[in-house]
Amino acid sequence: MNFETVAHLIVELFEREGLIPVTGLCEVKIDSQWAIALNGSSDPAPWRGADVPPFHFALDYNGFPAGLFSPAGGLMAAGSIVNEAALIAALEKRLDGREHNDLPESEVLCG
């Protein structure tokens, strides 16, 4: 997996949403299928039934875990639909403004 590219796109998304620096757990819906949580805390943070380790990203696809990683590495689903290429495409689409411009507050959760 190209962790550097994925991490860069995720950080860019969080910056555009005005969420950097993240000091706790912050969740952003990328589109109707993908959601991502970033734990900017030095403690594990609960998200969707599991703990996100400190300074890690967790991915969800249609309500199912799809990945857990940091810029140093991690794991990601590698199926025919849910995979690195699909995540990158969704992030790029969102960043290009073709998906979810001006998210409702309920789609950006930080705490």
List Cβ neighbours of 108 (8 Å cut-off, separation of 6 or more).
17, 19, 26, 27, 28, 29
Whole domain around residue 11: which residue ranges?
A: 3-95
Per-residue model confidence as pLDDT tens digits over 67-107: 998 878 889 999 999 999 999 999 999 999 865 545 544 47
Residue 109 covered by a domain: no
Number of separate domains in the chain: 1
Residue 107 covered by a domain: no
Task: Give the DSSP per-residue string, the chain.
Answer: --HHHHHHHHHHHHHHTT-PSP-SEEEEE-SSSEEEEEE-SSS-EEETTEEEPTT-EEEEETTEEEEEEETTEEEE--SSSSSHHHHHHHHHHHHTTSS-SS--GGGEEE-
Residue 101 covered by a domain: no
Mean pLDDT of 23-31: 92
pLDDT of residue 6: 87
Residue 102 covered by a domain: no
Question: pTM of the predicted model, to two decimals?
Answer: 0.85
Residue 111 covered by a domain: no
